[in-house]
């Protein structure tokens, strides 16, 4: 039953994802590497769509009883902003960020990288993303990268020039097997470089050759190497770190669709030229998302970081996007489309997600209460919830069909709530429902936060206290049938962004969506 099918970019078809090893306990062990971001700024929701895809792979594997060695890096070395990336010249992104307005607060590039790395981890947790087994940093693996360059020089796949060390693409006949960019492309590449008026290292032997090491003793981040002071090429860090932590051949390698070429193609070339073994057996890419029908861009005002959406307006959150948005709603919105298809992120979709999350919370709350009261009675949830969970897992195993998995999960929530409405859940039924919600949360991460400290704070507690006190006053007024006074207080509460709901059993409140 434990078959997990996933699109493989290498073969261009949906294939069985097969761990090549087992743990000592006999569980399949998946070795998975997903390319992380360069920490020169806050990560945006597009970055997170990719990390979310990785997260869902990890969760689905875990649901099947697999162990996952999940490695996701942080690129804290500045690479390049200019078109001549292959030559690794030009200004790097970190240096550029340091000079920007936001960059003024940082003492240096190291400081800047640390700040944005911390921000990444906080956002990561807010979105309920599972922490990678290992999160290596490029700057902490420069030794290994230098050794890889040496190995490639020794076995003839690389050569040194005045400016750096390059990988010689023609020495690796498989180059292009992932992207389909083969020899025809070669001409286009040369042409492209010329038309862009880029200064190409004249010593490069082939236009496709890419930098393994860039000699530059003026660079803000530089290391000493046998080839002089400088810094490693961008593609090197991932293949080196993946192999260090996961072995020479890994089961699955993922990232954003833009990474397919040249980044992943170059990783393959470097890694396989050294080991002579396949680097990764399965490749997965997440498609870019669009925002309100357009590619995200700062100019169009639709460039969204997690911070833009989840921070309070006072704290820089974007009111035009309804900030602060519940991070779980954002998570749900971002996984409501298939990872391999273009996805249009819209305000309407975000609102719909928020509403659904509310419902998951309602169910969770009802179940917790029922669990506490432990009523006598039948358990008629077992069979329906088992079916629904099986549907959800099967959908995820079918190339991560999140829309279908979510539909199934929601069906389960509705079963629980409608059952509970007819007659409060028995202790046994509540236990079944709680197990279901836990499993759904493990699989999809949309029921509640998993991190020990949820995003709650003293501020929230104080706010809640204040609302409760107002609500008490209103209840008094209602008892006295002083309707104008009651409505007045409700208006006050309403102004705080809170809605009041009067039920037969009393009044409750919650933050408006």
Partner RNA sequence: GGCGCCGUGGCCGAGUGGCUAGGCAAGGGUCUGCAAAACCCUCUACAGCGGUUCGAUUCCGCUCGGCGCCUCCA
Give residues 461-500 in contact with RNA (rule: CB under 7 A): 478, 483, 486-487, 490, 499-500
Contact, 497 vs 326, CB < 8 A? no
Task: Using CB under 7 A, pick the residue from 57, 63, 68, 86 that binds RNA.
Answer: 86
How many binding residues for RNA (CB under 7 A)? Answer: 81
Stretch that binds RNA, among 186-194, 214-222, 430-438, 443-451 (CB under 7 A): 186-194
Task: Using CB under 7 A, pick the residue from 42, 110, 261, 321 that binds RNA.
Answer: 261
Instruction: Restricting to residues 344-373, name those near RNA by CB under 7 A.
Output: 344, 346, 348-349, 351-352, 355-356, 358-359
Distance (Å, rounded) from C-alpha 62 to C-alpha 245? 19
Give DSSP secondary structure letters for 351-391: HHHHHHHHHHHHHHHHHHHHHHHTB------HHHHHHHHHH
Instruction: Restricting to residues 366-405, name those near RNA by CB under 7 A.
Output: 401, 403-404
Q: Give the nearest distance from C-beta 482 to RNA in angstroms.
A: 9
Contact, 448 vs 363, CB < 8 A? no
Q: Give the nearest distance from C-beta 78 to RNA in angstroms.
A: 11
Distance (Å, rounded) from C-alpha 405 to C-alpha 276? 40
Using rule CB under 7 A, residue 262 touches RNA: yes
Using rule CB under 7 A, residue 37 touches RNA: yes
C-beta neighbour count of 421 within 10 angstroms: 9
Q: Which is nearer to RNA, 248 or 387 (CB)?
A: 387
Using rule CB under 7 A, residue 27 touches RNA: no
Stretch that binds RNA, among 126-134, 270-278, 288-296, 320-328 (CB under 7 A): 288-296
Distance (Å, rounded) from C-alpha 443 to C-alpha 433? 15
Distance (Å, rounded) from C-alpha 347 to C-alpha 351? 6
Using rule CB under 7 A, residue 288 touches RNA: yes
Q: Which is nearer to RNA, 229 or 483 (CB)?
A: 483
Task: Using CB under 7 A, pick the residue from 99, 298, 341, 479 that binds RNA.
Answer: 341
Instruction: Restricting to residues 107-166, name those near RNA by CB under 7 A.
Output: none
| Residue (of 360, 486, 484, 460) closest to 411 by Cα position | 360
Query: CB under 8 Å to 448, separation ≥6 — which residues?
Result: 328, 360, 361, 364, 441, 454
Instruction: Restricting to residues 416-455, name those near RNA by CB under 7 A.
Output: 417-418, 421
Q: Which is nearer to RNA, 147 or 361 (CB)?
A: 361
Using rule CB under 7 A, residue 1 touches RNA: no
Instruction: Restricting to residues 241-260, name those near RNA by CB under 7 A.
Output: 255-260
Query: Strands 210-215 and 164-167, how do they pair?
Result: antiparallel
Instruction: Restricting to residues 65-84, name those near RNA by CB under 7 A.
Output: 79-84
Q: Give the nearest distance from C-beta 248 to RNA in angstroms.
A: 23
Query: Strands 28-34 and 252-256, how do they pair?
Result: parallel
- Measured at the CA of 144, the angle between CA 71 and CA 154, to 5 degrees, comes to 130
Stretch that binds RNA, among 133-141, 442-450, 461-469, 501-509 (CB under 7 A): 501-509
Using rule CB under 7 A, residue 204 touches RNA: no
Task: Using CB under 7 A, pick the residue from 19, 337, 412, 445 that binds RNA.
Answer: 337
Contact, 97 vs 103, CB < 8 A? yes
Q: First CA to last CA across the chain, in angstroms?
A: 40
Q: Give the nearest distance from C-beta 303 to RNA in angstroms.
A: 9
Distance (Å, rounded) from C-alpha 331 to C-alpha 48? 9
């Amino acid at each position: 039953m434990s078959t997990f099918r996933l699109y493989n970019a290498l073969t261009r078809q949906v294939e069985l994802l097969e761990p090549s090893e087992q743990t000592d306990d006999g569980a399949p062990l998946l070795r998975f590497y997903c390319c992380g971001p360069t920490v020169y700024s806050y990560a945006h929701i597009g970055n997170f769509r990719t990390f979310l895809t990785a997260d869902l792979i990890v969760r689905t594997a875990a649901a099947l009883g697999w162990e996952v060695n999940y490695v996701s890096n942080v690129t804290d070395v500045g690479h390049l902003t200019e078109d001549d990336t292959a030559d690794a010249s030009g200004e790097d992104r970190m240096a550029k960020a340091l000079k920007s307005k936001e960059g003024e607060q940082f003492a240096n590039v190291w400081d800047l990288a640390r700040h944005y790395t911390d921000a990444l981890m906080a956002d990561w947790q807010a979105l309920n993303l599972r922490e990678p087994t290992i999160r290596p940093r490029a700057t902490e693996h420069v030794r290994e990268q230098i050794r890889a360059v040496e190995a490639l020089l020794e076995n003839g796949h690389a050569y040194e020039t005045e400016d750096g060390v390059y990988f010689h693409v023609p020495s690796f006949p498989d180059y292009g097997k992932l992207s389909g960019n083969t020899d025809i492309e070669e001409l286009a590449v040369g042409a492209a470089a010329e038309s862009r008026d880029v200064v190409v290292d004249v010593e490069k032997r082939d236009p496709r050759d890419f930098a393994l090491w860039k000699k530059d003793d003026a660079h803000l981040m530089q290391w000493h190497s046998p080839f002089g002071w400088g810094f490693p090429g961008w593609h090197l860090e991932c293949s080196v770190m993946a192999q260090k932590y996961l072995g020479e051949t890994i089961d699955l390698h993922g990232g954003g669709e833009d990474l397919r070429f040249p980044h992943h193609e170059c990783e393959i070339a470097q890694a396989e030229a050294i080991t002579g073994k396949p680097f990764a057996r399965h490749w997965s890419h997440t498609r870019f998302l669009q925002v309100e029908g357009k590619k995200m861009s700062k100019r169009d005002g639709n460039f969204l970081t997690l911070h833009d959406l989840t921070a309070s307006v006072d704290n820089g959150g974007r009111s035009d996007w309804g900030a602060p948005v519940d991070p779980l709603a954002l998570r749900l919105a971002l996984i409501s489309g298939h990872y391999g298809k273009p996805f249009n992120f819209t305000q309407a979709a975000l609102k719909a997600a928020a509403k659904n999350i509310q419902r998951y919370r309602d169910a969770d709350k009802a179940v917790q209460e029922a669990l506490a009261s432990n009523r006598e009675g039948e358990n008629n949830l077992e069979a329906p919830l088992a079916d629904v969970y099986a549907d959800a897992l099967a959908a995820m195993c079918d190339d991560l069909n999140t829309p279908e998995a979510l539909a199934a999960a929601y069906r389960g929530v509705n079963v629980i709530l409608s059952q509970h409405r007819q007659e409060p859940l028995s202790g046994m039924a509540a236990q079944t429902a709680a197990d279901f919600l836990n499993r759904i949360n493990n699989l999809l991460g949309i029921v509640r936060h998993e991190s020990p400290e949820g995003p709650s704070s003293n501020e929230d507690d104080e706010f809640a206290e204040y609302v409760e006190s107002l609500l008490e006053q209103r209840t008094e007024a209602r008892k006295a049938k002083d309707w104008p006074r009651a409505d007045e207080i409700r208006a006050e509460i309403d102004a705080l962004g809170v809605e009041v709901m009067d039920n037969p059993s009393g009044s409750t409140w919650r933050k408006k969506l």
